[in-house]
Copies of this chain bind each other. A is one copy, B any other.
Amino acid sequence: MIALDNLTKMEVAALTDVNGGLNLTDGHARLTLSARQAEVIARFPDLFQEASRRRFADIETEAHRTFLDAVGQHSAPVGTGRILSCYSSTLATDIVARALPQDTEVALLHPTFDNIADLFRTRGLRLRPLSEDDLVQRRWPGRPVGVIAITHPNNPTGLVTPPGHLRSLAEHAAGHGQTVIVDAAFRGQVKAAQYDTYEILDAAGADWITFEDTGKLWPMHELKIGMLAFSPKHAEAIEAAFAESLLSASPAVLALIRELAKDWGDSGFEHATALIEHNRRIVSTEIGAVGLSLADPDSRVSVARVRLPDNGPDSAKLYAEMVRRGVHVLPCPPFHWADPEEGLRLIRVSLARPSDTVEAAARTLAQTFADLR
């Protein structure tokens, strides 16, 4: 039994640390604005006025279209009413957890961010793990599993589900009357994940639910939208659950998202990912000095896992000592929601931070590891 809080609680602890330690926990972008992003923020008063002047539905449709086009999702059902704007992708996840029939058996990717498992369990859904190896080997579960849920790309591993694998999953699900859930919250960061997943899901005749998120892409201080898209079968239940949770997202934030997405489709993506990869190399170099290495060197998401050898401190111990030294990262056991022990030799560092922050944190990680070994 490992005594760790859930991941978000550790992230909250980092955010509210009264000693002001370095926070490399959450996957949110905490970066300096690019020149183009700063220009969009400077125009926010105009975007707010636009939200006063124009119809909500028009602004929302433009934001969906622009964002989804920027991340390759040209077949998403924009303008049909089957994309709902939520305050966050977590809220979108909870709405789906409520909309699915209680006792639905869900095969959920393992490991993945613990929040999905927590929200699903709290609403009475029953979970069984689908390992990344199951996914890679296309071992899809049959009945009584009613929902197969993947994170694409996965958090924390960065694993992308290739198009052929998604097609295989969608065809399997269509044949077995199952629903495919694609949590694409990190999709915007990874080109390989930006093939049109809606086209594949629809072509297979599968029922599906997809989460898209703007919250991981831009340093917008939680001005963000979680989009909840779904096939017609789920419309009624999801609309009812949505109406219990909110009236609408902010049209001013939707207008902001539209402008940021224009930049992302232009050169913003390249600008941001170059920084993430630069920071990944910094971590690799710093930890390499004490013999540590990245667990997922080919990952392109804005977090990196560091692998710890068996003959040294585990990630729970390393985490606690690093907090004492003023650096917050995430030990990985909670990601392994069905078997936390599996995560004891892995620790996660966020890369969407200024490079000097990443460097200082990686150095502390290396030094702490060396001191505890």
CB-CB < 8 A to A16: which residues of B? 56-57, 81
State which of A37-45, A180-188, A189-197, A269-277 sits at the interface with chain B: A37-45
Given the interface pairs A98-B122, A250-B221, A250-B223, the reply to whether A245 lies near B90 with Cβ below 8 Å is yes
A222's partner among B45, B118, B243, B249 (CB-CB below 8 A) is B249
> A-side binding surface: helix, strand, loop or mixed?
helix
Given the interface pairs A16-B56, A88-B87, the reply to whether A222 lies near B244 with Cβ below 8 Å is no
A244 and B98 contacting across the interface, CB-CB below 8 Å: no
Given the interface pairs A45-B41, A223-B250, the reply to whether A94 lies near B245 with Cβ below 8 Å is yes
A221 and B52 contacting across the interface, CB-CB below 8 Å: yes
Given the interface pairs A44-B45, A91-B87, the reply to whether A26 lies near B247 with Cβ below 8 Å is yes
A244 and B8 contacting across the interface, CB-CB below 8 Å: yes
Identify the interface centre among A5, A223, A251: most chain B CB within 10 Å of its CB. Answer: A223
B250 and A222 contacting across the interface, CB-CB below 8 Å: yes
A168 at the interface (CB under 8 A from B): no
User: Least Cβ distance of A195 to chain B in Å?
Assistant: 29
- State how many residues of chain A have any CB contact under 8 Å with chain B: 53
**Which 3 pairs from chain A and chain B are nearest by CB?**
A222-B250, A87-B87, A8-B243
Chain A residues within CB distance 8 Å of chain B = 5-6, 8-9, 11-12, 15-16, 18, 20, 26, 28, 32-33, 41-42, 44-45, 48, 51-52, 55-57, 81, 87-88, 90-91, 94, 98, 115, 118-119, 122, 219, 221-223, 239-240, 242-253
